[in-house]
Amino acid sequence: MDKIVSKVAALGVPGLVLIIAIGATGLAGGAAITAALAALGPGGMIGGIATLGVIGLISEGIAKYGVDAIFSAVVKELYKRGETKESIQNKIKKYPVSKDLKRKLNESLEKVSENS
């Protein structure tokens, strides 16, 4: 059991996601891994592996910079790419985050739009 835990810990958040997906399949062994990977992403097992990679990158960024900084950077990048202020505000409304973070994101958007 300790060996399994140490291997999963080395994988971090993607490892936990994979373990949860494996448990949800109701299968055992290689069939469970195959089914879990196929369920995680578009395009079957390859998509599942790619999804785990993306989850790893996102979790690393969140751990390093924090959720607020990541969301603010995304809002700024959307504005730089030419999205309108209104379309970004609509996206912020739909984000599954706290009202406080939504307020901070809207303030960040205001600052970016004023500087442009």
Contact 116, 99 (CB under 8 A): no
Measure the CA–CA gap between 84 and 28, rounded to whole angstroms. Answer: 49
Measure the CA–CA gap between 92 and 86, rounded to whole angstroms. Answer: 10
Full domain range(s) for residue 77:
66-115
Number of domains into which the chain is organized: 2
Whether residue 50 is found in the same domain as residue 88: no
Measure the CA–CA gap between 28 and 14, rounded to whole angstroms. Answer: 19
**pLDDT at position 62, please?**
83
**pLDDT at position 70, please?**
87
**pLDDT at position 88, please?**
92
Report if pTM > 0.85.
Answer: no
Whether residue 15 is found in the same domain as residue 58: yes
User: Which residue stretches of the chain have pLDDT < 70?
Assistant: 1-11
**pLDDT at position 106, please?**
92
CA neighbours within 13 Å on the CB side: how many for 76?
14
Joined tokens for residue 36: 């879990």
**pLDDT at position 85, please?**
92
Whether residue 55 is found in the same domain as residue 100: no
**pLDDT at position 56, please?**
86
